């Protein structure tokens, strides 16, 4: 009897242990378990955000959210995937949250809005041969209290999101890694309840004006876009590199090359003051030649001339000319290629400013500082095959 009781207890213990292990293992998520297909993930993100708004009873009646188009975290651009996200969020909200009005941000809609939805797109890595992985994060900010109401993240798996920039960003001579992008990233990642910056109202007003001007540009109405960008310069905080970039792109489209060059000069001044000039000098795969696009080659001459002139005028400034490559190719090869790209730029600038050789140093980063970091080489990662400038103390 005692023996049978001991055996029963032993078998019961083994059984319970097995059940425990089974349930423990099943509760441990697999590496890819949080990742969803794009449509499902964005709809889930939308429902999480809007359910929080509903749960906290922040809407007494019908109220309005303005949606700030999602930015690529690596270069501050609105890409085609941003537009896909925007459409899904608006459609899902309209279908399931009837008391919430949601619109793309613009000055008119901002007037009656109580909240703004900000978001970022972050590429993670190629974790398999078939799929790419992304983090799509968003937050909603109360425009009265300037505090974070809610934030959520969707983990997306896809054969590849569309990283083609919208026309206004595609035609801009620089990509944006400055304060406006950093502010958006901070606002998306701040804890719920925390306050955003003290100048948030001015920031949102400028953002609404920029999106309005950029959307007009994207629709091909260049004269009206030029007027809208000009109006931004008159606003507090409006004299930023994004505004001058819009004016440059419009002027170039309209054939006003002197006006385009004058606006690029303003961009150079701002970038140099910030210590970094992320100009889109983009190269062919495995080559030191620029991308073979005639319109771009014409602009490259403008860019090189204005950067050279800035250095001629500001004799106390020196620069590092930094070449980059995509991750395709061997590490040693990419180091050499990126250095050659930087040397190419230095030689081109010397035609305008002989002193550039003494006032600059060329550096090859290879693929150490990729922006996108995907394979194979494509439009998605063209920004990885670039040369940029960093302001440094003169060593002479």
**Strand partners of residue 326:** none
Question: Residue 4: its pLDDT value, please?
Answer: 56
Q: Which two tokens stand for residue 213?
A: 């001007």
CATH number of 35-165: 3.40.50
The Cα–Cα gap between 257 and 281 comes to 19
On whether the CB atoms of residues 68 and 106 are closer than 8 A, the answer is no
Q: Given this chain, do its domains 35-165 and 275-396 carry the same CATH topology?
A: no
Alpha-carbon dihedral sign for residues 111, 175, 77, 369: negative
Buried b (16+ CB within 10 A) or exposed e, 252-271: bbeebeebbbebbbbbbbbb
- Which of the four pLDDT bands, split at 50, 70 and 90, describes residue 47? very high
Q: In this predicted structure, what is the pLDDT of residue 176?
A: 78
For residue 15, pLDDT over 70 is answered with: no
Is the CATH number 3.30.1330.60 carried by domain 275-396? yes
pLDDT of the residue at 22 = 44
Q: Residue 32: its pLDDT value, please?
A: 47
Per residue in 115-166, pLDDT (tens digit) is 999 999 998 865 555 788 999 999 999 999 999 999 999 999 998 889 889 9
pTM of the model: 0.84
Question: Could you state, in order of their start, the residue ranges of all structural domains in the chain?
Answer: 35-165, 275-396
Query: Taking Cα atoms as reference points, which of 60, 64, 61 lies closest to residue 111?
Result: 64
């Amino acid at each position: 009897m005692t023996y049978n009781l001991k055996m029963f207890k032993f078998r019961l213990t083994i059984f319970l242990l097995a059940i425990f292990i089974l349930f423990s293992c099943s509760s441990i998520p697999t590496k890819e378990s949080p990742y969803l297909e794009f449509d499902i993930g964005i709809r889930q993100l939308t429902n999480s955000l809007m359910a929080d708004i509903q749960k906290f009873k922040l809407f007494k009646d019908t109220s309005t959210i303005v949606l700030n188009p999602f930015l690529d975290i690596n270069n501050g651009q609105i890409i085609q995937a941003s537009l896909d996200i925007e459409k899904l969020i608006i459609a899902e909200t309209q279908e399931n949250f009837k008391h919430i009005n949601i619109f793309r941000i613009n000055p008119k809609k901002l007037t009656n809005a109580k909240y703004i939805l900000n978001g970022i797109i972050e590429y993670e890595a190629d974790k398999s041969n078939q799929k790419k992985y992304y983090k799509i994060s968003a937050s909603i900010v109360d425009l009265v209290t300037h505090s974070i109401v809610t934030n959520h993240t969707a983990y997306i798996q896809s054969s590849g999101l569309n990283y083609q920039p919208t026309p206004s960003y595609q035609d801009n001579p620089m990509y944006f890694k400055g304060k406006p992008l950093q502010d958006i990233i901070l606002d998306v990642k701040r804890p719920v309840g925390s306050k955003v910056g003290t100048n948030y109202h001015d920031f949102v007003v400028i953002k609404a004006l920029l999106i309005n001007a950029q959307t007009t540009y994207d629709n091909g109405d260049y004269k009206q876009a030029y007027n809208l960008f000009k109006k931004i310069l008159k606003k507090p905080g409006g004299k930023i590199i994004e505004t001058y970039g819009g004016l440059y792109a419009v002027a170039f489209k309209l054939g006003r090359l002197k006006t385009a060059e004058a606006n690029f000069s303003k961009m150079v001044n701002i970038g140099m003051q910030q210590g970094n000039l992320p100009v889109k000098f983009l190269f062919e795969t495995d080559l030191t030649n620029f991308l073979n696009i005639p319109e771009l080659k014409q602009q490259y001459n403008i860019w090189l001339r204005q950067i050279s002139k800035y250095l001629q005028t500001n004799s106390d400034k020196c620069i590092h000319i930094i070449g980059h490559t995509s991750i395709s190719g061997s590490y040693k090869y990419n180091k050499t290629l990126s250095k050659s790209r930087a040397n190419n730029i230095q030689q081109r600038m010397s035609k305008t400013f002989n002193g550039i050789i003494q006032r600059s140093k060329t550096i090859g980063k290879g693929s150490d500082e990729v922006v996108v970091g995907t394979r194979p080489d494509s439009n998605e990662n063209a920004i990885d095959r670039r040369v940029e400038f960093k302001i440094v103390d003169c060593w002479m």
